[in-house]
Amino acid sequence: MIVLFTDFGLEGPYTGQVLAVLQQAAPEIATIPLFADAPARQPKPSAYLLAAYAQWFPEGTVFLCVVDPGVGGDRRPVVAEADGKLFVGPDNGLFDIVLRRSSDAKLWEIAWRPPSLSASFHGRDLFAPVAARLARGDPLTELAHRTNERSADRNWPDDFGEIVYIDHYGNALTGLRGSQVPATARLVAGGHSIPPAAIFSAVLPGEAFWYVNSNGLAEIAVNGGSASTVLGIEIGGKVTIEN
Amino acid sequence: MIVLFTDFGLEGPYTGQVLAVLQQAAPEIATIPLFADAPARQPKPSAYLLAAYAQWFPEGTVFLCVVDPGVGGDRRPVVAEADGKLFVGPDNGLFDIVLRRSSDAKLWEIAWRPPSLSASFHGRDLFAPVAARLARGDPLTELAHRTNERSADRNWPDDFGEIVYIDHYGNALTGLRGSQVPATARLVAGGHSIPPAAIFSAVLPGEAFWYVNSNGLAEIAVNGGSASTVLGIEIGGKVTIEN
Amino acid sequence: MIVLFTDFGLEGPYTGQVLAVLQQAAPEIATIPLFADAPARQPKPSAYLLAAYAQWFPEGTVFLCVVDPGVGGDRRPVVAEADGKLFVGPDNGLFDIVLRRSSDAKLWEIAWRPPSLSASFHGRDLFAPVAARLARGDPLTELAHRTNERSADRNWPDDFGEIVYIDHYGNALTGLRGSQVPATARLVAGGHSIPPAAIFSAVLPGEAFWYVNSNGLAEIAVNGGSASTVLGIEIGGKVTIEN
């Protein structure tokens, strides 16, 4: 299975062109668009989102990950290998959290280049063909070479006290793993102090609460409404734990 | 064929995770995302939308339907069987109109439970695996038991005089079947009295009209513009028939 | 491969119904949603967008193209044949630029009609079944007859000095091919004079530039931001070349 994690949007031309490349190079492999609206041009919140959601997929999954504001510059194209899953994309921190949480992590720099490489769409021209070949079983050593260096020391924290995603309902996903927040603690975001609750119907309509979502992240929601609108919170908003 | 009818959005993580479950459990079955933006958290307008669109699909289709504000609470997981089609989802009224318009309707309560069930994402953990098994031909009796009771007497009308959906063009779909509105009647919505017309080009650019859409619903549109913006109407707005 | 180019949106019911038709009529053919948000009801900007993106696909591709404000009126349903690719849709100018740029162009009028044809959704009822049959290899002569006439003399220019699309990042695609703009020229849009640059990181964060995008169009972008928001430009905004 190839899983797409990008900031491309689904409706415009980018996801479609990537799907066309995958379809031609690996027609027998299923492709799943997981996120097409990861935080645009922001590898840091995207890294925490990816780590939380990648965990849920089985070993052998190939993730094609493109949040790539430095495309065409000198950031390296890489494959991160973590607990039997492969992550193809730019070396800009996007895979830092996945690698850190993995018990068996390796980094590979992609050496393969396509016959024609645009300056602005490596997702289509470079990363998609590599993901297709890996999903078909081509060995990593044919496409990339091992590297132990990271391009930068980013010093990102283990858990990230910011909103990393607003979903279709207006729920606000944080970069904090629920397991790292005391079950009775309140979260503070957008100037509001928010209590925990187990499920939506445990609070009154219109009231805010936080809970551990189905992928393990602490998530801020409002029963019957949009937490983003009601609390005035957006991607990048700070979230602190109030014990 | 498995048809998705949800309020998940396509771009975020929910549809993708459901597609991943279906892909693993029923790789040979095609999945069609019909609605990913059914009225969020609103089973009532969603029920009229679902009934109008489900009608168009052939017998044997399995619908995976998740508009589920009560997830994790005590609403029952069910399968509605209606005229040879199966609808998997929560027992919150979402299937009431489909069942009422069917000549052969049965309700089943899902007894099967997955090894691991999140509190907030039964679409992924419970409904998708059930839909996959039904689409593959597993008998309903292995997953569910017959029930004749509805969880509540909701007293919803046969046709619903509200806007139930605003489409990508800004057209406003009502919960009224076109066949139940006199062909020469006007519809009143947002303080406007709207005449009927057969097609868009039958009225002047910028003018509003209503017509029977390709799935049988009375729909309010503006030639060359957005009815939602021009008329100031949204999901939940009242629609009355002016004879 | 069948490629979808429409103004339907992905989340609502239109793309899903078209996919269901294609799935039933040509289950073995892959379908790629390229654009579901082509300029709504605007064949002219859509025509330049389609020509730029269709070029990238291989011979044999069938494009199902629906930007069709005149649906149900007297515009003809056609198939445009251009350099070994087939384009199915309305004869409203949508294929003019593709045909003009092709060295081997033919126009066919669709004679086939479905048993049941709605007045408002020819994408589902007429164009999708035709696209499916063509993709499966049915000869054009069974479905359509040659025509050399265009329905109108639209006199559209070879390159179009307007914004034709705003993407998910807020980048503004113009109807100008990059090859037709001097490499050192500035573009003027929204009252701003915009210099060229090769890649995003060649300009300071927050600064605007134009570049030739990966499909050959001159595109206006802002490093780290939305050109649409920063420059106040939308689809339909004029773009001129300042030498």
| Mean pLDDT, residues A212-220 taken together | 97
* pLDDT band at C200; cut points 50, 70, 90: confident
CA-based angle C74:C75:C77, to the nearest 5?
A: 120
So what's the pLDDT on residue C41? Answer: 95
Which chains pack against B, by 3+ Cβ pairs within 8 A? A, C
Q: For residue A232, give every residue at least 6 positions away whose Cβ sits within 8 Å of its Cβ, in sequence order, or none.
A: A190, A191
In this complex, the residue of A7, A10, A23 whose CB is nearest that of residue C10 is A10
Q: Across the strands, what pairs with C5?
A: C35, C65
Residue A150 has pLDDT above 80, yes or no: no
**Residue contact C1–A14, C-beta within 8 A:** no
- Alpha carbon of C233: minimum distance to chain A alpha carbons (Å): 18
- Tell me the one-letter amino acid at B153: D
CA-wise closest residue to C241 among C207, C193, C208: C193
So what's the pLDDT on residue A55? Answer: 96
Q: What is the ipTM of this complex?
A: 0.96
CA C44 to chain centre: 9
So what's the pLDDT on residue B96? Answer: 96
> Which residues in chain B are contacts of A169 at CB distance < 8 A?
7, 40-41
**Residue contact C36–A8, C-beta within 8 A:** no
* pLDDT band at C151; cut points 50, 70, 90: low
* pLDDT band at C55; cut points 50, 70, 90: very high
| Mean pLDDT, residues C198-224 taken together | 94
So what's the pLDDT on residue C153? Answer: 77
So what's the pLDDT on residue A1? Answer: 96
| Mean pLDDT, residues A31-36 taken together | 98
> Which residues in chain C are contacts of A27 at CB distance < 8 A?
30
Residue A32 has pLDDT above 80, yes or no: yes
- Choice between A25 and C202, residue whose per-residue pLDDT is larger: A25
Residue A121: closest C-alpha in chain C: C214
pLDDT digits (tens, 9 = 90+) for B95-141: 999 999 999 999 999 999 999 999 999 999 999 999 999 999 999 99
What count of CB pairs under 8 Å joins A to C? 85
> Which residues in chain C are contacts of B215 at CB distance < 8 A?
13
Helix, strand, coil abundance in chain B, percent, nearest 5: 25, 30, 45
Residue B20: closest C-alpha in chain A: A32
So what's the pLDDT on residue C201? Answer: 83
So what's the pLDDT on residue B243? Answer: 82
CA C137 to chain centre: 24
In this complex, the residue of A4, A35, A201 whose CB is nearest that of residue B73 is A201
Contact C12, B168 (CB under 8 A): yes
Residues of A at the B interface, defined by Cβ within 8 angstroms: 1, 3-4, 9-10, 30, 32-37, 53, 56-58, 165, 167-169, 198-201, 211, 213-215, 224
> Which residues in chain C are contacts of B168 at CB distance < 8 A?
7-9, 11-12, 14, 36-37, 40
**Residue contact C17–B34, C-beta within 8 A:** yes
pLDDT digits (tens, 9 = 90+) for A63-107: 999 999 999 888 999 999 999 999 999 999 999 999 999 999 999
So what's the pLDDT on residue C163? Answer: 98
- Alpha carbon of C162: minimum distance to chain A alpha carbons (Å): 18
What integer best gives the mean pLDDT of chain A?
96
> Which residues in chain C are contacts of A44 at CB distance < 8 A?
none
What integer best gives the mean pLDDT of chain C?
96
C-alpha A189/C-alpha B153 separation (Å) is 40
So what's the pLDDT on residue A230? Answer: 97
Q: For residue B10, give every residue at least 6 positions away whose Cβ sits within 8 Å of its Cβ, in sequence order, or none.
A: A10, A33, A36, B33, B36, C10, C11
pLDDT digits (tens, 9 = 90+) for C94-145: 999 999 999 999 999 999 999 999 999 999 999 999 999 999 999 999 999 9
pLDDT digits (tens, 9 = 90+) for B89-106: 999 999 999 999 999 999
Substitution target from A214, A229, A230 for chain B, most B beta carbons within 10 A: A214
So what's the pLDDT on residue C123? Answer: 98
pTM above 0.90, yes or no: yes
In this complex, the residue of B15, B19, B118 whose CB is nearest that of residue A214 is B118
What integer best gives the mean pLDDT of chain B?
96
Residues of B at the C interface, defined by Cβ within 8 angstroms: 1, 3-4, 9-10, 30, 32-37, 53, 56-58, 165, 167-169, 198-201, 211, 213-215, 224
pLDDT digits (tens, 9 = 90+) for B168-206: 999 999 999 999 999 999 999 999 999 999 888 889 999
> Which residues in chain B are contacts of A4 at CB distance < 8 A?
16
Residue A12: closest C-alpha in chain B: B11
Angle, to 10 degrees, between the axis of helix A128-135 and the axis of helix A13-25?
Answer: 40
